[in-house]
A and B are shown apart, each in its own frame.
Chain A
Amino acid sequence: MRRRPSPTMNPLVSPAPRLSRRQLLLAASAVGVGAALPPRAARAQPRREGALPERLLFVVAAAGGASILDAFLPVVDVEAGAAAATLAVQPGSLVDTVGGLRCVGRRGGDLAGLDVGARFLQRTFLQKHGGDTVVMTVESTSVNHLVGQKRMVTGANVNGGRTIQEATALVHGLSSPLPNVNMAQGGYVERGDDVTVDRRALPEAVADARTFPLSLHGSRGVKHAPSAALVERARRVRDALESESPFGRTFAHAPLRQAVLDARARFVPDAEHRDLVTKLMLVPDAPGAFPLAASGLAESPDGARVREKFPRLIGDSFEAQAAMAFLLAKHGVAQAITLSPSFSPVLEGITMENPPLAFDFSHNDHPGTQNAMWSRVLRVVDGLIDLLKAEPDGEGATLWDRSLVYVATDFGREKVRPVDANVFGTGHHLNNGVVMVSPLLRGGRVYGGVDPTTLLTYGFDPSSGEARPGTVMREGDVYAVIAGAMGVEYPGRRAFPALVR
């Protein structure tokens, strides 16, 4: 049983982790492989029998409320019968089927007076990745953005408040520099509520992927700075000062201070030795915006490659996050990586690529917003998967073979519309579904279903996968599916053999 945090426990700093025996064994196996060797070298070693293979989790937060009915679980107007006039159904001409999944085509039209982007087609995504794509219905427990967001990554605290990213990082990433990198926003970027989580697995918040590499070296690129060797010498002097000062003596055991000293001892030499400031520098040397060379910096050797896949990354933070997600995975820096589109608008000429409030602009225009934002999210996921599929993992497979992309969202949207309206706004709704893409799942199908007369989704049998009208899946079930694929164990975890390979 998990230890309940004491009221006197300092919530600011995590004490030593309290793991179950099983978690301890899993974590020990992960650390045992990687502790003595750099992670890349560790991966090149033959895996010990019984050791858990490393997994990569990408959480793509469809912030604002992405309705599954506007993507891979649409209901066509004729299926709704007489109720169609007042339900948020799709016109039959827009809905297509690829393999075992449906999708919605490009609506066109405008959004807030600007052209709707939606240039990337859902159909294209399914044609490329449909076999790995899972739609799982879910009914969440909050229509508050921040609360809903957090519950979709904590499974409504099904694992003691630990986010799925923290849990994944604990199992697969404790020997990595930054096992849990979080570039998302709102409730998705918050740490979980489990104060016993090892602080190494807590989210490392990244505000801007384009400049984040500058946080990975202590002196490179600092104007008028002495050489790195001399700075290193000054750091050793600083260590002496830390122990010779009255402040250092007084707060020798202060956890807050100790966390920084630990990072200096563990993370700083590792990050600088790996030259992460260069390997992750995804922007090009540009004298106007990014004068790298003039500052003694250089772009990543993979820079051109990621920019080819994400050509707008300099002006579009979501694309930059996806490029960074790939580089973090490739270089063994992180095992749980979270990204999300911004609530700030992104324009491409006269096209609305990202409306303000992202999916939540559905309050103003549901069909246009959902169409544009799903296209945007799927285009970025497609690019990320392409890069992962093309990257060998050193063991005869690719990074994609051990990856899972979870398209999380806050909640669903209302199912109704004014009679026969083509443009309408929707509020928040608990009932919805999520998308997961991974070769670790039995993809190419919907788990659960939707009632065409109400547009409410229903659940399924975890063992057989058969749809079960009258039941619903919860946030904890989504968490359990991902945990199963990631090798994350916790007391009472529900098994989903129908879904997890």
Chain B
Amino acid sequence: MTTTTTSRWWLARAARAPARSRAPLTALLSTLFSVLVACIEAPAPPPGPPVIDDPLAGIAASTKNELLWRRARAVQTGLAQALAIPAEDVCRELDRYSCVDLVHQVQLGGNEPFAQGLYEPLRAPSTTTALSFDRVALSACSAAVEIDAERPAPVIFRGHPLTDEPLRDSDDDAVGARLLGATLVQRLHAREPQPRELDALLPLLVDDDGAPVSGRTFAKLACFAVASTTESLFY
């Protein structure tokens, strides 16, 4: 719909434009048409997957590096929405103290004016931020899987049964893992996954000894691996 609307806008604009300014546009459309025809008429590529050494090769490293820290409450809200759980279920230490409002508040970038007189939050993550964020992400993922397992049909963690039975070590496991990985990247990072990211999750189907883990465990581990990347911590 958007593409069609944009095309109409361009055509209408081109029709209104004087002939002199219409010439470059006409040339551009002509070129695009030629390319389209060439693509349609091109011979079929040889069978087999295309060989792409690095699909991210075209991405240049930022020279400005202007990142913003996604802080305590934003982390909690983001995880709650992405994993479809209540905010208060994201993380509670000792099953009673809020991670974001109390225990890890300062490490996650919140300010604590009452007990510590910390009127302004930390300017940058501190050393223990890495572990505090790990705990919050792991807690949120573990809670989300447990909550999803209780639902008649899982909302997030589709692909494997959320049981404690070890997976069957079949090709279906990889399919399910990729499906779940794609869902997690879409929901947690609001973008489409890269094929290599989905491949990277496959080792989590087994433990360090090569034994298959359960669907429930895989779901928690995959969620944690995606949710605790720095992409969740900065924007």
Contacts and interface: CB of A to CB of B under 8 A. Distances in A.
A231 B230 contact: no
Contact of A260 (B56, B135, B138, B233): B233
Contact of B229 (A63, A222, A245): A245
Given A234-B221, A291-B95, A215 B229 contact: no
B143 interface: yes
Contacts of A247: 189, 229-231
A211 B103 contact: yes
A244 B131 CA distance: 22
Contact of A233 (B69, B130, B203, B233): B203
Contacts of A252: 61
B102 interface: yes
B130 A263 contact: yes
Interface in B135-151: 135, 138-139, 142-143, 145-146
B194 interface: yes
Interface residues of B, number: 72
A271 B129 CA distance: 13
A145 B125 CA distance: 26
B203 A256 contact: no
Given A217-B131, A218-B131, A233 B200 contact: no
Contacts of A178: 127-128
A41 B232 CA distance: 37
Interface in A161-195: 177-178, 183-186, 189, 191
B125 A251 contact: no
A231 B138 contact: yes
Contacts of B142: 222-226
Given A238-B229, A252-B61, A221 B93 contact: yes
Nearest to B62: A250
Interface stretch (B23-31, B73-81, B104-112): B104-112
B66 to A, nearest CB: 8
B39 interface: no
A218 B65 contact: no
Contacts of A177: 127
B207 interface: yes
B196 interface: yes
Nearest to B120: A190
Interface residues of A, number: 76
Interface stretch (A136-144, A198-206, A462-470, A471-479): A198-206
Nearest to B104: A215
Interface string A218-251: 1101111110011101111110111011111111
A42 interface: no
A344 B115 contact: yes
23 contacts: A185-B118, A205-B126, A207-B118, A208-B102, A214-B93, A214-B104, A216-B128, A216-B131, A223-B95, A231-B138, A233-B203, A237-B201, A237-B203, A238-B224, A238-B226, A241-B201, A242-B230, A245-B194, A246-B59, A251-B62, A256-B125, A259-B125, A264-B130
Interface of B: 56, 59-62, 65, 67, 69, 92-97, 102-107, 112, 114-119, 122-135, 138-139, 142-143, 145-146, 189, 191, 194, 196-197, 200-201, 203-204, 207-208, 213, 217, 220-222, 224-226, 228-231, 233-234
